[in-house]
């Protein structure tokens, strides 16, 4: 029997989360490597349309488990139906993006099978039938190659942006199985009363294609707002920051990039007056192109940068803005 690689699909506001599509891309790599098939499971009050979409993006089969109580994520209500499905299809691997929900749900699922979770994986290799995930613990100071040598099912969560969903097919013909979610007899210990955005400016930098970020090198909140704001608006990008900027209250924490902020995977990342400390860099390694401006030619950010400009932000940023505006006008 082909081995089933199961992706637990997350969705919000009627959309499949990118982390789940990245999970599907990973599942397809594993399926190809060990000779398996890709399966998705989605829970919701009404999730058939999203199940069809997931099947069209490359899943061989998607189970859509519906119930009125599943309008939003619930660890108690998700656990039993997903575990039942894992047993039913004898899943070899269970995958999720390393989201907050995954950090909550994956240990709940895996503990039922007395199995570990390989969390926050950044890469994988396949050796015969063995899947080896790579992790970078301690703020990426180590590269660890991790194998779960126990029996299946195996569980892994995937770092945002580490596995690209860009090459998933469109129009794949996977099948969808619609079922009522088996929720009888489940005790709900935790009920979500309300989901509240953290402050008005809450932004999801992880979804932005262009991010312009500033660091302590901007010198003041006024400089930050003017210079970083100008370049971000010229490029049509979102604004990010290093931790000292947030600690100084120039910007709220939801703009912070790094190990204690957001992990971002934009097409273009511009780092202005940021030194490139490891805790910042782990948040930007998934960026396709990094441009750094720093007056210190030895700043570690230049080791990460695709393009580096040695200079003072106060001089370089207005020149960049002017050059981009001129190019846009042509």
Exactly one of 240, 294, 305, 308 binds ligand FAD (CB under 6 A); which one? 294
Based on the shown chain and the rule CB under 6 A, indicate whether residue 317 belongs to the binding site for ligand FAD.
no
Based on the shown chain and the rule CB under 6 A, indicate whether residue 255 belongs to the binding site for ligand FAD.
no
Is residue 68 classed as helix, strand or coil in its secondary structure? Answer: helix
Best CA proximity match to 7, nearest among 87, 82, 119: 82
SS3 content of the chain, % helix, strand, coil (to 5): 35, 25, 40
Based on the shown chain and the rule CB under 6 A, indicate whether residue 227 belongs to the binding site for ligand FAD.
no
Based on the shown chain and the rule CB under 6 A, indicate whether residue 253 belongs to the binding site for ligand FAD.
no
Only one residue has tokens 């469109």, namely 170
172 vs 216, beta carbon nearer ligand FAD: 216
Please tell me the distance from the alpha carbon of residue 202 to that of residue 211, in angstroms, as a whole number: 15
29 vs 314, beta carbon nearer ligand FAD: 314
Torsion sign, CA atoms 303, 304, 310, 313: negative
Exactly one of 296, 323, 325, 328 binds ligand FAD (CB under 6 A); which one? 296
Q: Closest separation between CB of residue 241 and ligand FAD, Å?
A: 7
222 vs 296, beta carbon nearer ligand FAD: 296
Q: Closest separation between CB of residue 277 and ligand FAD, Å?
A: 4
Based on the shown chain and the rule CB under 6 A, indicate whether residue 136 belongs to the binding site for ligand FAD.
no
DSSP per residue, 180-217: E---TT------------SSTT---GGG-SEEEEE-GG
Q: Closest separation between CB of residue 315 and ligand FAD, Å?
A: 8
177 vs 259, beta carbon nearer ligand FAD: 259
74 vs 99, beta carbon nearer ligand FAD: 99
Which tokens belong to 175?
A: 């099948």
Per the DSSP assignment, residues forming a β-bridge with 132 are: 125
Stretch of 27-35, 85-93, 123-131, 288-296 lying at the interface with ligand FAD (CB under 6 A): 288-296
Task: Give, for 83, the enclosing helix (H) or strand (E).
Answer: helix 75-88
CA dist 295 → 104, 222, 232, 316, 319 (Å): 43, 19, 20, 10, 15
What residues line the site for ligand FAD (CB under 6 A)? 215-217, 242-244, 256-261, 273-275, 277, 279-280, 293-296, 299, 312-314
């Amino acid at each position: 029997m082909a081995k089933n690689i199961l992706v637990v699909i997350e969705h919000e506001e009627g959309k499949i989360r990118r982390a789940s599509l990245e999970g599907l891309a990973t599942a397809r790599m594993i399926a190809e490597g060990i000779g398996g098939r890709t399966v998705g499971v989605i829970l919701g009050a009404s999730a058939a349309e999203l199940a069809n979409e997931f099947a069209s993006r490359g899943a061989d089969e998607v189970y859509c488990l519906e119930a009125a109580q599943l309008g939003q994520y619930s660890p108690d209500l998700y656990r039993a139906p997903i575990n039942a499905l894992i047993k039913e299809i004898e899943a070899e691997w269970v995958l999720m993006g390393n989201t907050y929900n995954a950090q909550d749900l994956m240990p709940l699922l895996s503990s039922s099978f007395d199995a570990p979770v390989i969390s926050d994986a950044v890469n994988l290799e396949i050796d015969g039938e063995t899947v080896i995930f790579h992790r970078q613990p301690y703020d990426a100071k180590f590269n660890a190659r991790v194998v779960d040598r126990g029996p299946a099912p195996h569980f892994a969560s995937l770092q945002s942006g580490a596995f690209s969903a860009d090459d998933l097919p469109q129009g794949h013909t996977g099948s969808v199985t619609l079922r009522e979610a088996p929720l009888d007899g489940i005790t709900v210990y935790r009920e979500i009363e309300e989901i509240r955005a953290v402050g008005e400016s809450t932004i999801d930098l992880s979804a932005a294609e262009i991010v312009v970020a500033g660091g302590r090198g901007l010198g003041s909140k006024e400089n930050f707002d003017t210079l970083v704001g100008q370049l971000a608006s010229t490029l049509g990008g979102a604004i990010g920051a290093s931790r000292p900027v947030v600690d100084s209250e120039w910007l709220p924490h939801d703009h912070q990039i790094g190990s204690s902020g957001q992990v971002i995977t934009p097409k273009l990342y511009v780092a202005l007056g940021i030194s490139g400390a490891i805790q910042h860099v782990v948040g930007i390694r998934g960026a396709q192109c990094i441009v750094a401006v720093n007056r210190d030619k030895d700043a570690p950010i230049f080791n990460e940068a695709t393009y580096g400009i040695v200079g003072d932000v106060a001089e370089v940023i207005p020149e960049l803005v002017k050059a981009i505006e001129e190019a846009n006008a042509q």
